[in-house]
Amino acid sequence: MSLIQHAFIQKSRVPSREQWQQAIDKLGHEFELDPDLKPNEDSGFLPCKLKGYPSGFEIYYEPANEYLKLYPDLSTRNGNRDWCITFRWGGDLAECACVLIASAALIDSFDAIIYYPGDNMFYDKAAILSEIEACMTESH
């Protein structure tokens, strides 16, 4: 079973790999993006390290307009965020933690909004940090 989460952001604010990693480091989690990540260019599986162990998720970048049509609740919250970063992972809690940490950094440092369509849920920073802790506790 595949799970999906979206980050909506202004395309001009999509961070470089270095900026994104700095934002992740600021959150205090032992999580490392692939050193070869090229935001807005890469797609498919992105290897990462969580607490020194290999993990990862799929990542895709595309315009937000199709998602605004697909998910009507987005239109009232999205503002001028014209770009979508989609994260896809299996049921593995370590992979989920990776997605949540990467997403939390986008909220915290790059004004993204995070949407989990499976539950029609928008994450704020507090909620996503709580979910990270739950995943980390259950995954190891």
Q: Helix, strand or coil for residue 16?
A: coil
Say what the pLDDT of residue 140 is: 57
Per-residue pLDDT of the chain (140 residues; tens, 9 = 90+): 789 999 999 999 999 999 999 999 999 999 999 999 999 999 999 999 999 999 999 999 999 999 988 888 888 888 899 999 999 999 889 999 999 999 999 999 999 999 999 899 999 999 999 999 888 877 65
Q: Which domain holds residue 109?
A: 3-61+77-116
pTM of the model: 0.94
The answer to whether position 131 is within a domain reads: no
**Strand segments (E) across 11-137:** 31-33, 44-50, 53-63, 83-89, 113-116, 121-123
The answer to whether position 66 is within a domain reads: no
8 Å CB contact between 132 and 107: no
CA-wise closest residue to 30 among 118, 97, 82: 97
The answer to whether position 69 is within a domain reads: no
Specify the number of domains making up the chain.
1
